[in-house]
Amino acid sequence: MTAACVFVTLGILVFMLVLGLPLLTPDSLHLIFASEWAPDRGLFGVLPFIYGTLAIVSLSLLFAVPLSLGNAVLIHLLLPPAAAGLLHRLIKMMTGIPTVIYGFVGIFLLVPFIREWFGSGSGMSILSAGLLLALLISPTMILIFVESFAAVPAGHIRALTALGGSLRQRLFYLLLPGARNGIMTGIILGIGRALGDTMIALMVAGNATARPESILDPVRTLTAQIALVMAADFDSIEFKTIFVCGILLYMWAAVLTLTLRFLNHGSVKSGFRGVLS
Amino acid sequence: MTRFYNFMLYLFSGLCGLLLVGSAFTLVGFLLWQGASIMGLKLIFGTLDMSEIIDVIFWQRIVIDGLWPAMVGTFFLVFMALSTALPLGLGAGIYLAEYAGGRTKTFFSIVFDLLAGVPSIVIGLFGFSLTLYLHRYFPGLRPCLLISGLALALLILPYLVRTTQTALEELPDSLRLTAAALGAEKSAVIISVLLPQALPGIFSGIVLAIGRAAEDTAVIMLTGVVASAGIPRSLFDNYEALPFYIYYTASQFSDQYELQQGFGAALVLLVICILLFTGAGLIRKKATLRLLYQHRHP
């Protein structure tokens, strides 16, 4: 039974490779990593979508990491236990919100707001998608941060308090260094979640194929490209490039997963349980 | 100076907290504000009256302008994904927790971690290419309910494996030793001693997996969901689903009422998912209490 599961997992990669491999000859590689996507002119570069993905993911991290650290500090250090418990429970509940709902509310609330606020474009932009993704990945990151803060030995904290250490010293000299691995784990899980998300990017990032010049420009991500090209003719190069996008996403996800394992010294649980509980 | 630093710390964290909580409430509040007025039987069954609704429930009548087909589709999806993934997941979880050791365990753990990390759209793409491949041998096969169910099973499999494994591994070793000392074989220990004890943990994993299967949009988008199909007549039919309905309405709505239906659907899905997640948490908590109790009165 387990063998079946393993077979299926490797099967995904094999399928991707088999279907994408005909494209990975030097000639077509040149074609695929060209800097433009314009099927009507014979240009099938996926580079714009790689840029789009990276832009959205890095912007969402830029918002989400400080936001999550702030909330984790609030729960672990600053709030009285009752309020901290309440916030913790609310954040757990937030992990249950479906992504398509973030996208839906994003279209009808955030996108018009950004359009009005900046007064240009359609509002569908890197900024909109980045903000929503930050909201999507923060709860998971906060839960893992809080868990790893709590794992810092209580004796050290008591010793620091006995020496007259302030809150700031406790945070910067004990909690943050002590929870370094946990913080990295949370951030990597966040990156993985943001990278693999389809619905938010598809719904609010605007799906333009041109390379963006500011965070107010629309972009298309690798995931959205897969979702959008499905309708095309099965034999076209256009259609085959989505397997290249698939392979790229699979490999990035695999690298992140292996990094996680390396960080946690082979103990599988810490990362995973943080997400699940 | 210390006071200043502490003040800054409180200020920054407080702002972060307000921002997050504010966003969450804005999101839910906006949905409620826009969608609450449409909540009711009309949202689900359209303009049918009570006796007609009963016909619908007994498969005697179709619903034209309601959420019913999408809700039934989502139910079928969850049911199929779970009935495929549950035996596999339980089996693999038990194997990893009780039988596997050393290198085997590490290898399988890495594989399940990898599977857990695969983006859902890539799983959808796998389902789609599987259909293309099978199409050569079964010419009539198109993306359909069966393919979506299998692809979703793949998506929730790592959750089931991991929660089963964790639930078993968290049980105290004294249970295993006592049962073995009484002469029970390993399979008997697992079936009649360990599994019943681990049941709450396993069950909360199942609930989470249901939530994951119900909310996922990317997988089904590539494997056969359509905007209007009615109730699927067979496993090889197209179908509707709630999350896709929400996505589709967001871009394709033609009038105010359809948009409102979209808000209604979003609210329904949100409530289902939040209930499932809260339920999973409660089950876990109850399980912990039970374990604590047992430790105190051995």
The answer, for A191 touching chain B at a CB cutoff of 8 Å, is no
Residue B248 lies in a domain: yes
Whether residue A107 is predicted with pLDDT greater than 50 in this model: the reply is yes
State pLDDT tens for residues B179-198.
Answer: 889 988 888 888 888 888 88
Query: B140 to chain A, minimum CA–CA distance in Å?
Result: 16
- Using pLDDT thresholds of 50, 70 and 90, give the confidence band for residue A103: very high
pLDDT reported for residue B183: 87
Residue B45 lies in a domain: no
Query: A167 to chain B, minimum CA–CA distance in Å?
Result: 6
Residue B63 lies in a domain: no
Query: A214 to chain B, minimum CA–CA distance in Å?
Result: 25
Show residues of chain B in contact with A196, CB under 8 Å: 117-122
Q: Which of A73, A97, A268 is opposite residue B113, by nearest beta carbon? A: A268
Domain that holds residue B285: 70-296
pLDDT reported for residue B285: 74
Residue B183 CA to residue B177 CA, distance in Å, equals 10
The interface pTM score, or ipTM, of the predicted complex is 0.88
pLDDT reported for residue A28: 65
Task: Report the range of poorest mean pLDDT among B83-92, B127-136, B207-216.
Answer: B127-136
- Using pLDDT thresholds of 50, 70 and 90, give the confidence band for residue A65: very high
Residue B38 lies in a domain: no
- For the stretch B95-100, contacts whose Cβ atoms lie closer than 8 Å and that sit 24 or more positions apart, written own/partner, are B95/A1, B95/A2, B96/A2, B96/B161, B96/B165, B97/B164, B97/B165, B97/B166, B97/B168, B97/B169, B98/B168, B98/B186, B98/B190, B98/B194, B100/A2
Cα B68 to Cα A42, A141, B50: the distances in Å are: 44, 36, 14
- Using pLDDT thresholds of 50, 70 and 90, give the confidence band for residue B30: very high
pLDDT reported for residue B226: 81
The candidate with the shortest Cα–Cα distance to B106, out of A236, A265, A19, A246, is A265
Which of the two residues, A197 and A45, has the higher pLDDT score?
A197
Show residues of chain B in contact with A14, CB under 8 Å: none
In sequence order, what DSSP letters do the residues of A63-125 get, joined into one string? HHHHHHHHHHHIIIIIS-HHHHHHHHHHHHHHTTS-HHHHHHHIIIIIHHHHHHHH-SS-S-S
pLDDT reported for residue B296: 46
Q: What percent of chain B has pLDDT over 70?
A: 96
Query: A199 to chain B, minimum CA–CA distance in Å?
Result: 7
Whether residue A53 is predicted with pLDDT greater than 90 in this model: the reply is yes
Q: Which of B109, B118, B281 is opposite residue A92, by nearest beta carbon? A: B281
Show residues of chain A in contact with B101, CB under 8 Å: none
- Using pLDDT thresholds of 50, 70 and 90, give the confidence band for residue A271: very low
CB contact under 8 A, A2 and B92: yes
Backbone φ and ψ for B141, nearest 5 degrees, come out as -75, 125
Which of the two residues, A186 and A157, has the higher pLDDT score?
A186
Residue B243 lies in a domain: yes
Q: Which of A16, A105, A266 is opposite residue B30, by nearest beta carbon? A: A105
- As for how many domains chain B has, the answer is 1
Whether residue A75 is predicted with pLDDT greater than 90 in this model: the reply is yes
Domain of B191, CATH number, reads 1.10.3720.10
Residue to test with chain A: of B4, B7, B16, most A Cβ within 10 A: B16
Please provide the distance, in angstroms rounded to a whole number, between the alpha carbons at the two ends of chain B: 54
Whether residue B234 is predicted with pLDDT greater than 90 in this model: the reply is no
Whether residue A56 is predicted with pLDDT greater than 70 in this model: the reply is yes
State pLDDT tens for residues A160-176.
Answer: 888 888 888 888 888 88
State pLDDT tens for residues A199-219.
Answer: 999 999 888 888 888 888 889
B196 CB contacts (<8 Å, ≥6 apart)?
none
Chain A stretch 53-112, residues whose beta carbon is closer than 8 A to a beta carbon of chain B: 66-71, 73-74, 77-78, 87, 90-105, 107-109
Show residues of chain A in contact with B211, CB under 8 Å: 96
State pLDDT tens for residues B239-255.
Answer: 889 999 999 999 888 88
Query: B52 to chain A, minimum CA–CA distance in Å?
Result: 31
pLDDT reported for residue B257: 86
Which SS3 state, helix, strand or coil, does residue A259 take? helix
Residue B111 CA to residue A261 CA, distance in Å, equals 12
Whether residue B24 is predicted with pLDDT greater than 60 in this model: the reply is yes
Whether residue B152 is predicted with pLDDT greater than 50 in this model: the reply is yes
Residue B117 lies in a domain: yes
The count of residues in chain A is 277
CB contact under 8 A, A196 and B6: no
The domains of chain A, with CATH numbers, are: 45-276 (1.10.3720.10)
The answer, for A50 touching chain B at a CB cutoff of 8 Å, is no
Residue to test with chain A: of B125, B216, B222, B247, most A Cβ within 10 A: B125
Burial class (CB in 10 A: 0-12, 13-18, 19+), B246: buried
Whether residue B297 is predicted with pLDDT greater than 80 in this model: the reply is no
Query: B261 to chain A, minimum CA–CA distance in Å?
Result: 12
State pLDDT tens for residues A176-200.
Answer: 888 888 999 999 999 999 999 999 9
CB contact under 8 A, B9 and A171: yes
Q: Which residue of A has its CA nearest to B107?
A: A6
Most confidently modeled range among A3-12, A102-111, B85-94, B115-124 = A102-111
State pLDDT tens for residues A137-149.
Answer: 999 999 999 999 9
Residue B58 lies in a domain: no
CB contact under 8 A, A203 and B250: yes
Residue B16 lies in a domain: no
Burial class (CB in 10 A: 0-12, 13-18, 19+), A77: middle
Show residues of chain A in contact with B116, CB under 8 Å: 257, 272
Q: Which residue of B has its CA nearest to A277?
A: B281
State pLDDT tens for residues B100-132.
Answer: 878 888 888 888 888 888 899 988 988 888 888
Which of the two residues, A267 and B168, has the higher pLDDT score?
B168
Mode of pairing for the β-strands spanning A37-38 and A43-44? antiparallel
Mean pLDDT of chain B: 85
